[in-house]
């Protein structure tokens, strides 16, 4: 099997933009991803983050599924401690009934926002595994949530950025999505691996486009949370290894290295660039070079 390419889109609100613009860009990018042949398109759950418009994955998944035809669409992911499992099962069972064979449900347990916001969201101290097992039962047992009955079940994934979550997924026989874009220095595999990628026509332009995310990361480390700045206003900072940056040849080499290291056959890319046109171009270029990389074991 060849490489599968997918997208993780946080609906970023960059400097000078609005949540409406960010969400419209997400819709546009999902349509482009389908046109380019990407496999799936995931949106996350974040709360109280002024640079992220993606806070209601069930709502956004419904809209993206309605404006596409073949693309798998899903949550990457729903943060289960924020929700009663029954509500999640009802929402995604409904989506699976409306869009058969196209809905994914990734489950995570990260806070998803600052402590003040998380404390307003979370209403339970139940163990995560207990909640997870209840949710799975609502999709599979004789007492399944009503919209699920008749086989309306999304594809379930466990999301994480640590070996412990990978072990839990194996124990529960669940698909595991490794959030490598959050911990690029960690060597961990998964059925799917997410990576941050900035690809442009050549290495020089890609490095220029990477200035904003490097500036934002440095500011966060210094205790100042800023919106992604315009490249013209960003500092020229050295590569910190968090993002795969380069022109097509360089990105081909770097993607192959990730595949060799993780053993995955599916890469989910997220591209933290300022201009939407540059983000579109990034996905076009990555799609074009995807045939030049080979997942580990693909030739066996």
Question: What letters, b where the CB count within 10 A reaches 16 and e where it falls short, cover 163-196?
Answer: eebbebbeeeebbbbbbbbeebeeebbbbbbbbb
Q: What angle do CA 55, 184, 165 make, to 5 degrees?
A: 65
Extended strands (E) in 96-229: 103-108, 155-160, 175-178, 192-199
Classify strands 155-160 and 103-108 as parallel, antiparallel or unpaired.
Answer: parallel
Per-residue pLDDT tens digits for 186-204: 889 999 999 999 999 999 9
Q: Which residue has the higher pLDDT, 89 or 300?
A: 89
In this structure, what token pair is assigned to residue 45? 């759950």
Q: CB-based contacts of 22: which residues, under 8 Å, 6+ apart? A: 11, 12, 13, 14, 53
Torsion of CA 82, 6, 192, 19, to 10 degrees: -20
Domains and CATH numbers, the chain: 4-292 (3.20.20.30)
Q: What is the pLDDT of residues 136-163, one digit of tens each?
A: 999 987 778 999 999 999 999 999 999 9
Mean of pLDDT values over 17-30: 98
Read off the pLDDT of residues 248-271 as tens digits, 9 standing for 90 and up: 999 999 999 999 999 999 999 999
Closest CA to 74 of 33, 118, 110, 107: 107
* Tokens 């946080």, residue located: 10
Contacts with 14 (C-beta within 8 Å, 6 or more apart), sequence order: 22, 51, 212, 227, 228, 229, 230, 274
In 10 A of CB 283, how many CB atoms? 21
Tell me if 266 sits within 8 A of 193, measured CB to CB.
yes
Return all residues near 293 (Cβ < 8 A) that are at least 6 apart: 3, 252, 255, 256, 259
The total of other beta-carbon atoms located within 10 Å of residue 233's CB is 11
pLDDT score recorded for residue 121: 83
In this predicted structure, the answer to whether residue 83 has a pLDDT above a threshold of 90 is: yes
Q: Which two tokens stand for residue 212?
A: 């904003």
């Amino acid at each position: 099997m060849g490489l599968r390419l997918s997208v993780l889109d946080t609906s970023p609100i960059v400097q000078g933009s609005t949540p409406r613009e960010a969400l419209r860009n997400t819709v546009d990018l999902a349509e482009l991803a389908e046109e380019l042949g990407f496999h799936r398109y995931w949106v996350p759950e974040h709360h109280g983050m002024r640079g992220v418009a993606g806070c209601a994955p069930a709502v956004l998944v419904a809209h993206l599924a309605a404006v596409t035809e073949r693309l798998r669409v899903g949550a990457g992911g729903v943060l289960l401690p924020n929700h009663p499992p029954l509500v999640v099962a009802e929402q995604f069972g409904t989506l699976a009934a409306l869009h058969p064979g196209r809905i994914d449900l990734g489950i995570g347990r990260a806070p998803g926002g600052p402590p003040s916001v998380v404390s307003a969201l979370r209403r339970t101290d139940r163990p995560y595994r207990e909640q997870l097992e209840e949710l799975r039962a609502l999709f599979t047992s004789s007492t399944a949530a009503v919209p699920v009955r008749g086989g309306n079940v999304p594809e379930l994934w466990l999301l994480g950025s640590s070996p412990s979550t990978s072990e839990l997924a194996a124990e529960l026989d669940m698909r595991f999505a490794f959030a490598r874009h959050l911990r690029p220095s960690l060597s961990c595999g998964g059925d799917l691996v997410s990576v941050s990628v900035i690809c442009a026509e050549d290495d020089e332009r890609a490095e220029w486009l990477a200035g904003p995310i490097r500036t934002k990361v440095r500011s966060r480390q210094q205790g100042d949370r800023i919106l992604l700045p315009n490249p013209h206003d960003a500092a020229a900072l050295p590569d910190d290894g968090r993002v795969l940056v380069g022109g097509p040849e360089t990105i081909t080499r770097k993607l192959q290295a990730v595949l060799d290291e993780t053993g995955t056959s599916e890469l989910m890319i997220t591209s933290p660039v300022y201009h939407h046109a540059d983000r579109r171009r990034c996905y076009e270029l990555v799609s074009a070079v995807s045939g030049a990389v080979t997942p580990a074991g693909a030739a066996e």
